[in-house]
Amino acid sequence: MIHILRHTIAAFVLSAVSVPMMGQDMIARQAPIDRKMRAVDSVEIQRLIQQEYLDNPAEDLYPSWEDDYINMYGNVQLPSEYKIDLRGFCMPTTNRIVTSGYGYRPRFRRQHKGIDINAYKGDTIRAAFDGKVRVVTFQPGGYGNVVVIRHPNGLETIYGHLSKHLTKKDKVVKAGEPIGLAGRTGRSTGTHLHFETRLLGEYIDPAKLFDFEHQDVTGDFYIFKGRGRGILLGKHDVNGASQTAEGDLAQADEGVEVTYNSSETARNSRSQRAARNSRIHKVRKGETLGSIARKHRTTVAKLCRANGISAKTTLRVGQILKYS
């Protein structure tokens, strides 16, 4: 009887232990899948954040988006200091010869608020950085055919006297993407590219930022100090991330292990395809799920479903929400 009782107790203990052990095994098997799905989600969030920075470049710096006027910042307060990331620059033209520099022109008795780079009619003019095209217009008494691009680093670049536009308003462009052809339209004495760099309408001498002779930037960062003044910094002089998406991207990717196997490739691909139809919204002060849904022409229910939250969730300023 004692022998049978011992076997019964042993069997009971074994069965009691095996249930949580089986649960632990299932959790252990699920963990790699969770890590992989986190990796997929993290990569997609990186892409969405980058897209948000291009769709709304430097939105924390600029008060509005206006696609008719080149300089619209007369009453805007300039920051006392602003760090401009110059990395990722592409020369707007392959020509290295600056025919007229920045500053006062005694011959014309006026300021030259950009630089003129030698070019031949029809030469391809390219975007200097990633950004979004704000203005595409023609000014007969000034720039002629002109393109203005706003960039996530805070700069706006202006390309004047073009013979032809190769881009359109509100288009997101990459550094080096063709935006026009060189010419001599507007008030011009010869074929060239008139190139300007501005921050909130404040002119900055392009030669302080770019070495046109050597087709490179003069430093990794430029600290704008107002009224055209500033300090150049190399990458080893800077502590912390620049005022671009870089810091957010690093946070999104922190601690993520990216591994895939063939059995999950199809599922991950479907997730990525669905996510590519999504966009993101960064929550601002005073916004609610209702106001965000109205802004992006969706519903609160869809926002909640896309972000795994409820209609009663309290939003945080700076929180990233996905929508489609």
* Residue 87: per-residue pLDDT: 92
In a domain, 6, yes or no: no
Which of 104-113, 252-261, 280-289 shows the lowest per-residue confidence on average (mean pLDDT)? 252-261
Q: CATH no. for residue 303?
A: 3.10.350.10
Tokens 């011992």 -> residue: 6
Are 295 and 172 contained in the same domain? Answer: no
In a domain, 217, yes or no: yes
Are 286 and 228 contained in the same domain? Answer: no
- The arithmetic mean of pLDDT across residues 288-299, rounded, is 89
Q: Between 25 and 155, whose confidence is greater?
A: 155
- Domain housing 114: 82-237
* Residue 282: per-residue pLDDT: 80
Rounded CA separation 86/222 (Å) = 7
Q: CATH no. for residue 173?
A: 2.70.70.10
Last residue in a domain, options 208, 237, 266 = 237
* Residue 139: per-residue pLDDT: 93
Whether 245 contacts 50, CB under 8 Å? yes
In a domain, 19, yes or no: no
pLDDT at 152 over 80: yes
Are 231 and 305 contained in the same domain? Answer: no
Question: What are the angstrom distances between the C-alpha of 250 and each of 38, 46, 172, 226, 234?
Answer: 15, 9, 23, 30, 20
Number of structural domains found in the chain: 2
* Residue 44: per-residue pLDDT: 66
Whether 204 contacts 114, CB under 8 Å? no
pLDDT (tens digit per residue) in 157-214: 999 999 999 999 999 999 999 999 999 999 988 999 999 999 999 999 999 999 998 8
pLDDT (tens digit per residue) in 88-130: 999 999 999 999 888 877 777 778 889 999 999 999 999 999 9
Are 217 and 301 contained in the same domain? Answer: no
Number of Cβ within a 10 Å radius of residue 272? 14
Number of Cβ within a 10 Å radius of residue 222? 25
Residues paired with 226 in a beta bridge: 229
Judge residue 126's burial from the number of C-beta atoms within 10 Å of its C-beta, 0-12 exposed, 13-18 middle, 19 or more buried: buried
In a domain, 231, yes or no: yes
Return the structure tokens found at 205.
């001498």
In a domain, 44, yes or no: no
Q: Between 282 and 24, whose confidence is greater?
A: 282
If you count them, how many residues does the chain have?
324
Are 139 and 230 contained in the same domain? Answer: yes
Are 108 and 157 contained in the same domain? Answer: yes
Are 105 and 233 contained in the same domain? Answer: yes
Are 227 and 309 contained in the same domain? Answer: no
Rounded CA separation 212/216 (Å) = 7
pLDDT (tens digit per residue) in 214-238: 889 999 999 998 765 677 676 545 4
Judge residue 234's burial from the number of C-beta atoms within 10 Å of its C-beta, 0-12 exposed, 13-18 middle, 19 or more buried: exposed
Are 92 and 215 contained in the same domain? Answer: yes
In a domain, 23, yes or no: no
Average pLDDT in the chain: 77
Are 162 and 297 contained in the same domain? Answer: no
pLDDT (tens digit per residue) in 42-100: 666 766 767 776 788 888 888 888 888 888 887 788 888 999 999 999 999 999 999 98
- Local confidence band at 23 (pLDDT 50, 70, 90 cut-offs): low
Whether 272 contacts 46, CB under 8 Å? no
In a domain, 157, yes or no: yes
Helices (H), the chain: 2-55, 206-209, 246-253, 262-276, 289-295, 300-307
Nearest to 133 by CA among 186, 70, 73, 209: 70
244 DSSP 8-state letter: S
In a domain, 189, yes or no: yes
Are 161 and 282 contained in the same domain? Answer: no
Are 117 and 211 contained in the same domain? Answer: yes
